Amino acid sequence: MASNFFGELFRITTFGESHGSAIGVVIDGCPAGLSITKEEIDEALALRQPGRNKFVSPRSEKDGVEILSGLYEGKTTGAPIALLIRNQNADSSPYTAIQNLYRPGHANFTYLEKYGLFDPRGGGRASARETVARVAAGAVAKKLIGHFGIHCVAFVAEIGGIGIDADLTDLATLREKTYSSPIFCPDERQAEEMMRKIEVVKAEGDSLGGILACVAHLPAGLGDPVYQKLEAKLAAAMLSLPATKGFEIGEGFAAARLRGSEHNDSFIANQGKTSLATNRAGGTLGGISTGAPLYFRVAFKPTSSIQKPQSTVTLQGEPATLQHPPSARHDPCVAIRAVPIVEAMVALVLADVLLFNRCATLHQVSGCELPGPKGPGFQRPDKKELTFI
């Protein structure tokens, strides 16, 4: 299984199974001198963990990170950063009765076809449990991009066909409203409708899908043409997540129903600087950020593990019925807990393109100037500041 890394200059490699002893990640390429603490990573993990309320999986697991390498006195050293999160509440017993069945919507069929083996305990590497490593790495990436004034917020935009309106201009307020909601939805009125629908569907033994949106404020000039377009890297990041079924940036699929005169974003002069009058493109042109807010959406399918009986076959090809035991623990809507995971993956992409951007030219392009410090602001023992050109 040679596909467990993501990123190029800022690269992560994850490992571990859903019901194994631990999940972990190794981060390569993080610059030295970045301040990061265990508490900051644990805070990010707490947003993703199950058991927070009745709208997510009841699996009770308070995730805490062990920092094994790459930090000294609270700062990154430039060496690989190894992070470990131990599985503390893995109950494999509900899977014993169904381990000989193909599970509709799950990967055991394709894994068996490809590898000839499959870990039936919660899905192994196919389980969303592996995303805990992405969130841990994302906490480091967020700290890096935040150093340059780059921030992002993901939120629930739709569940079960119930959509919202959200103000995307004030990220601080958007984040506050999102993370004060039990289901990470910044529209309080629509969130109530969503939660009512989740409870009804959950009582029926079924599940719901959802759409997450994400907005990021970043400077112009990030991303590279052709194969390394910013939206291409974001799409790869999002569609690598379990249960994702679609990605769109800006107007997305709706753009296919518009005319060029309706979709094009006009350029305007704004206080001596060139900017865009609208943002139908979602913050990129030619795969490079425009300086307008980056905006995209990700579609998540309904949770595949449901309490309703489902027709299937055994591993030997005999007709059968899949019925999860009452003790099985699953999310009624996987999109909810995906919010901090989407944010983590965005941060990983932006950290990677940020480092790539410092290799792009010998001179400073005005549109690519990053807010905040001119360099990482890292200090040598002689107190002389190191900066990137």
In the chain the domains, ranked by start, together with CATH numbers, are 5-386 (3.60.150.10)
Q: What's the pLDDT at 362?
A: 72
Task: Report the alpha-carbon distance of residue 331 to residue 154 in Å, rounded.
Answer: 19
Residue 367 confidence (pLDDT) above 60? no
Residue 358 confidence (pLDDT) above 60? yes
Q: What's the pLDDT at 382?
A: 47
Burial class (CB in 10 A: 0-12, 13-18, 19+), 259: exposed
> Which H or E run contains 269?
strand 267-270
DSSP3 helix / strand / coil % (the chain, rounded to 5): 30, 25, 45
Spell 260-269 as b/e; 16+ CB within 10 A means b: eeebebeeee
Q: What's the pLDDT at 242?
A: 95
% of the chain residues with pLDDT over 70: 88
Task: Report the alpha-carbon distance of residue 171 to residue 216 in Å, rounded.
Answer: 8
Closest CA to 47 of 198, 184, 148: 184
What digits encode the pLDDT tens for the residues 375-387?
333 344 444 443 4
Q: Tell me the whole-structure pTM to 2 decimals.
A: 0.90
Quote the tokens at residue 64: 């805490």
What digits encode the pLDDT tens for the residues 52-78?
666 776 666 689 999 999 999 999 999
Neighbours of 42 (CB within 10 A): 17
Quote the tokens at residue 246: 């679609």
Residue 147 confidence (pLDDT) above 60? yes
Q: What's the pLDDT at 55?
A: 75
Q: What's the pLDDT at 90?
A: 62
For 89-154, give the secondary structure using H, E and C: CCCCHHHHHHCCECCCCCCHHHHHHHHCCCCCCCCHHHCHHHHHHHHHHHHHHHHHHHCCCCEEEE
Pairing of strands 71-72, 75-76: antiparallel
Q: What's the pLDDT at 241?
A: 97
Quote the tokens at residue 353: 């393109």
Q: Locate tokens 């994850």: which residue?
A: 14
Phi, psi of 36 (to 5 degrees): -155, 140
Q: How many helices (H) and strands (E) does the chain have?
A: 9, 20
Three-state DSSP at 77 gives coil
